[in-house]
Structure 1
Amino acid sequence: KTRQKVAELLEMLLTSDGSLRIMLLIEALNTIAECKQLNALSSIGFKQELVEAESDRVNAIYDYSLKNFKRKIQLEEIAAVANISPNSFCRYFKSRTRKTYSQFLIEIRVGQACKLLIENNLSIKQLCYESGFNNFTSFHKYFKMITGKSPLNYQKEFMA
């Protein structure tokens, strides 16, 4: 019901002018805000708020990870970005994020997969590799673990 109402408001918005467009947009946003059925569309890997005191080091790790998540990132490599030893990196990262670096990368990759499912017409297998996973089985497993849905069901639900 909410989806249909918002879709109708947005269609009207496309053909309207001036202040009516603004009013329709506000009404659509209000309809979304009042909706009680909320579903997360992406994982936390899309963007995570960082503690400001550690922001330079964590931002360097985060930026490097976002630029390189499609390939295998070695522990020594990311530790060098943070300018600490691999063992120290594991402790440091977990203490700041409450997750392992591997978990963090998986969340980024699933987030990318969610984005690609919505924005592109790639096959699920192509999408798996474009998101940085190197095999379909682990892609499907982690996607379902994080989103609670299979990639195909996620895409169908979003397009409904």
Structure 2
Amino acid sequence: MKPQLLKVPIGFEYSFSVRQDKVPYFYNRWHYHPEIELLHIESGTGTQLIGDSIQNFQDGDVLLVGPNLPHYWRSEDRYFAGESDLWSIATVVHFQENFWGERFLQLPENRPIKALLDKARAGIRVTGATQQRVQDLLTKLRIAPSPERILLLLTTLQTIAISNDTTVLSSSSQFARISEAEADQINRIYAYSIANFQQKISLEEIAEVASVSPNSFCRYFKSRTRKTYSQFLLELRIGHACRLLLEGKLSIAQVCYESGFNNFSNFNKYFKAHTGLSPLKYQQQHIA
């Protein structure tokens, strides 16, 4: 997938950026930037795309996104309804890999951090006890005075680097760069698909959204995402089914149809192929 370049403002007072976003919904834009991004989702749920990985995000998630790796967060539909008490909140850190100097990461003591940042080029999710530790450090970092900010960032990265509580997200870190016009085209495809995956989306329909011919769309989409559009829709539907199963409010049959599947046996087959578990086993394992 080819995203839009985003210019991240750093300013003159600090060598890297840290902020808290409190917005009605997350960010709904497929983009990339040369800065590394460390993100703590304090409040919010929805769909996350990092490289070629499609997953759900939720309260408490901690993610490390490497330089120029395209990413996209799209809040659930309920966040777009304008409810006054529903907010999406995140602490976001952006820093250049060499902001502390060209040789800093070459020091022997910093080898774990250097290895972490190399791994982050494909995106990393932080889990377990390390997730909570990083959340606490980012809360301190957001309000810390200089030069404590640099020490806290270094401590945060070291905490992740020496932990086993990490998962690499994308199968690749190499994605082409495009113009703003083509980024708009890709974002229209993503936005329409995420808003409508619970229904049947015809090839003619999504090709019209992309402003290309139906004959060209499949080749166009696969050349940019390394997956077919059918596979992309399937991953969106499975992700939604996982969220509904964890909520535990619907029967498995209802989850099947609410996730855009119109055949229960196909739902079971695809769900198990994607997660390694049947829907029932997945639910039992994760909410027991």
Q: What do residues 44-66 of structure 1 show as CA deviations (whole Å, max 9, x unaligned)?
A: 8xxxxx86524211111011011
2:130 and 2:165 in contact (8 A); partners too: no
2:256, 2:165 → 1: CA distance? Answer: 32
Task: Report the CA distance shift for 1:117/1:88 in structure 2 as closer, same or farther (over 3 A).
Answer: same
Alpha-carbon distance, 1:112 to partner: 0.3
Classify 1:28/1:73 alpha carbon distance in 2 versus 1 (closer, same or farther; 3 Å). Answer: closer
For the pair 1:71 / 2:206, whether they are aligned, the reply is: no
Cα distance between partner residues in 2 of 1:27 and 1:147: 24
Structure 1: distance between partners of 2:222 and 2:200: 19
User: Which of 218, 224, 249 pairs up with 1:90?
Assistant: 218
User: 5+ residue gaps in structure 1?
Assistant: 1-25, 45-49
Whole-Å Cα distance in 2 between the matches of residues 78 and 27 of structure 1?
Answer: 41
Q: 2:279 aligns with which of 107, 131, 151?
A: 151
Task: Determine which of 30, 46, 71 is the counterpart of 2:133.
Answer: 30
Structure holding more helix per residue:
1
Structure 1 residue 153, shift from structure 2 partner: 1.0
Pick the aligned partner of 2:248 from 120, 134, 152: 120
Deviations 1:88-132 (A, max 9, x none): 101000001111111111100000000111123210000000000
AA of the residue aligned to 1:56? D
- Quick one: which amino acid aligns to residue 118 of structure 1? L
List gaps (5 residues or longer) in structure 2.
1-128, 135-159
Report the count of equivalent residues. 127
In the alignment, residue 156 of structure 1 is paired with which amino acid?
Q
Which has the larger share of strand? 2
Q: Which whole-Å CA distance do the structure 2 matches of 1:51 and 1:58 have between them?
A: 13
2:236 corresponds to which residue? 108
Inter-partner Cα distance in structure 1 for 2:244 and 2:176: 29
Q: Deviations over 1:141-160 (max 9, x none)?
A: 11111111111111111113
What is the CA–CA distance in structure 2 between the aligned matches of 1:37 and 1:85, rounded to whole Å?
A: 41
> Residue 142 of structure 1: SS of its match in structure 2?
helix
Q: Could you say which residue in structure 1 is the equivalent of 2:186?
A: 58
Please tell me the residue identity of whatever aligns with 1:29.
Q
Q: Following TM superposition, where does structure 1 have runs of at least 4 consecutive aligned residues deviating by more than 3 angstroms?
A: 33-38
Mapped contact 2:221–2:228 kept (Cα < 8 A): yes
3-state DSSP class of the match of 1:121?
A: coil
How large is the Cα RMSD of the aligned pairs? 2.8
Three-state SS of the structure 2 residue aligned to 1:125 is helix
Mapped to 2, the partners of 1:134 and 1:28 lie a distance apart of 37
CA contact (8 A) 2:245 2:255 kept: yes
